[in-house]
Amino acid sequence: MFRGPESQRPFSLERFFRWRCYQEYSGGIATDLFVHLCTAIHFLMDAKVPARVIAMGELYRWKESRDVPDTLNAILEYPEGFTVNLSSSFNNELNAEASFQVLGTEGSITIGGDGLVFYPENAVEDNRWIVDAWAQPLEDAYYRDPKVIAAEVEPGKRARKAAEHFKDEGPEATVAHFGHFFDSVRSRQACWENEVAGHRAAACAHMINLSARERRVVEWDFGKDSIA
């Protein structure tokens, strides 16, 4: 029953217990890990599904014990006006410290095991390294320009804003997750991630795998709500 109707392989305990490592039963990193990231991204950004995906991945190290890539990188482009970079490798323990980085125009947010950190955007346009090479009269004239003063001089005088740290509060995330599910069962009301949202999160993983396997950009057909 585990092998299914297509596989002619003899039953293998290794394949039974480590099924995620084989393409016959698993989509590898994309369907095992990336799909959860896409679920969160769609919720946070109020997005549906990426319009285009391009990905690359290879099996670099574990060649004798699996046939899915052990390293996978993808770029997802959303019509809501942002892109997502997904990266994972099983070849380095630091990569296991998974976290989100949300890079916005007003600041950056990291979400990981220690909670959430907000880093205010302190960027100041600074052309001084170029202007320093000019003749002094040109440099003086540049810094008298009101636009330059507003964009470079005045912002550079302000104190840099410090990062803000936020810790998790309330029940552990898995407890809250199951609580929402049980509430939906009792009330017969759909969770925020209904079958359509689940379909689109899974589609991200399939688009990534298809792109990596066929070495091409994969697009979404919004009219058919399916891969183009």
- pLDDT value of position 98: 55
What average pLDDT does the segment 78-100 reach?
83
Contact 201, 35 (CB under 8 A): yes
Q: Please say if the pLDDT value at position 125 is more than 90.
A: no
Q: Please say if the pLDDT value at position 207 is more than 90.
A: yes
Whole-model pTM?
0.83
- pLDDT value of position 22: 92
Q: What structural domains does the chain harbor?
A: 27-122+161-227 (3.30.360.10), 123-159 (no CATH)
Partnered with residue 165 across adjacent β-strands are: 117
